């Protein structure tokens, strides 16, 4: 929650003449105008010349070579220092957030642009008193559609043997052979949040049986055939033809898919990871892929990013590699702003914020 009652919020708004929101990440002017129009009590600080040029639509970090002049730096620090709310993380990074917090004594809430903003907050190393003072919310939920599409890109490519099609085309080779179909297969979704729901909905459309594990062991989704707690993962893995990971990186999930877990997967199973790379023991995964025990993998995230040039994953024909871009969309910023505006309404009303990070779990 915002940490204030409705009366406290009304008093603060009246005294300050409005809630000051600073846009601290690159954003289109028309979307800054949407934020400005969300409530008359808002004073939105949006100065594009203080933000780095973008490299692509939806870029929240911008050109790494960008530098502010001394005059611009003074304006930047003044803007941060006056704000109660940030849209985005300065520099789209933990260190950028840590530096901004030191010069923003009025800051009470930061809306992250990433679903995994908890990792950026962890990297900021903020002391407990700052984590108590400042609410941080993520953009979790807005990327589900894109990530589900990537998951099925991988499942279809590997079931229909796209690598063979590409090789045969290059060799002008013509042959007939059967391929697998998704209908009738079982898909295990590990981490069943908004992303998991989008994956499950598409899986049902393909005629798949959907099982999942999450923290609660329960789900009211109409697209799930069986849901159990995360402690049941070892008994669920052998039942799946495809395993899709949609987990955050926490001390509980790191290396959860290790050699033992991979060993429990069916021969010929496919692994998809759209969560966080730290969840998977990549050495164990490479061994299972090289031996052919796993049919293949579709990976958007990796233990080290960018993926090192000497990683054996680059050379495996049964691996689809995406450079952590599967969630990106030309519509991303509009969706984040829509979420932010709903959270602004809640913040002004003293209500619970959507996607607030638990500082103990960092997600």
Return the active site residues.
276, 305, 324
237, containing H or E segment? none
Q: Comparing C-alpha atoms, which of 321, 322, 320, 317 is closest to residue 164?
A: 317
Structure tokens at 133: 């003072």
Phi/psi of residue 82, nearest 5 degrees: -95, -10
Q: Which residues contact 157 (CB under 8 A, 6 or more apart)?
A: 163, 296, 298, 320
Rounded CA gap, 339 and 342, in Å?
A: 5
Residue holding tokens 């300065």?
Answer: 90
Is there a contact between 282 and 260 (Cβ–Cβ < 8 Å)? no
190, containing H or E segment? strand 186-190
Rounded CA gap, 17 and 21, in Å?
A: 12
Rounded CA gap, 9 and 342, in Å?
A: 16
Residue holding tokens 């459309």?
Answer: 205
Structure tokens at 356: 């607030």
Residue holding tokens 């940030």?
Answer: 86
Q: In what order do the strands lie in the sheet with 109-111?
A: 42-45, 19-23, 85-87, 109-111, 135-137
| Bond from prior residue into 306 cis (ω within 30 degrees of 0) | yes
Rounded CA gap, 288 and 175, in Å?
A: 28
């Amino acid at each position: 929650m915002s940490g204030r009652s409705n009366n406290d919020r009304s008093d603060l708004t009246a005294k300050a003449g409005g809630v000051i929101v600073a846009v601290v990440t690159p954003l289109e002017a028309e979307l800054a105008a949407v934020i400005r129009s969300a409530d008359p009590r808002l004073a939105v600080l949006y100065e594009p010349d203080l933000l780095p040029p973008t490299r692509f639509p939806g870029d929240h970090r911008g050109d790494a070579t960008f530098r502010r002049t001394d005059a611009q730096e003074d304006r930047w620090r003044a803007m941060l220092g006056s704000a109660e709310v940030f849209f985005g993380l300065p520099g789209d990074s933990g260190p950028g957030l840590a530096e901004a917090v030191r010069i923003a004594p009025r800051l009470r809430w930061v809306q992250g642009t990433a679903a995994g903003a908890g990792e950026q907050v962890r990297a900021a190393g903020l002391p407990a008193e700052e984590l108590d003072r400042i609410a941080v919310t993520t953009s979790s939920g807005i990327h589900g559609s894109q990530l589900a599409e990537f998951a099925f890109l991988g499942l279809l490519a590997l079931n229909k043997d796209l690598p063979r099609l590409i090789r045969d085309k290059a060799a002008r080779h013509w042959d007939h052979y059967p391929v697998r179909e998704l209908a009738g297969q079982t898909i295990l979704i590990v981490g069943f949040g908004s992303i998991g729901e989008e994956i499950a909905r598409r899986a049902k459309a393909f005629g798949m049986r959907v099982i999942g594990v999450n923290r609660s062991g329960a789900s009211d989704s109409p697209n799930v055939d069986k849901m159990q707690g995360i402690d049941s993962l070892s008994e669920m893995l052998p039942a799946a033809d495809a395993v899709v990971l949609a987990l955050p990186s926490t001390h509980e999930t790191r290396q959860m898919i290790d050699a033992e877990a991979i060993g429990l997967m069916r021969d010929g199973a496919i692994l998809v990871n759209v969560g966080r790379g730290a969840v998977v023991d990549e050495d164990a995964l490479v061994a299972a892929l090289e031996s052919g025990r796993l049919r293949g993998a579709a990976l958007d995230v990796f233990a080290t990013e960018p993926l090192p040039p000497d990683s054996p994953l680059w050379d495996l024909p049964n691996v689809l590699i995406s450079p952590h871009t599967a969630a990106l969309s030309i519509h991303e910023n509009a969706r984040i702003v829509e979420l932010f505006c709903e959270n602004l309404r809640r913040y002004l009303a003293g209500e619970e914020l959507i996607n607030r990070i638990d500082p103990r779990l960092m997600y």
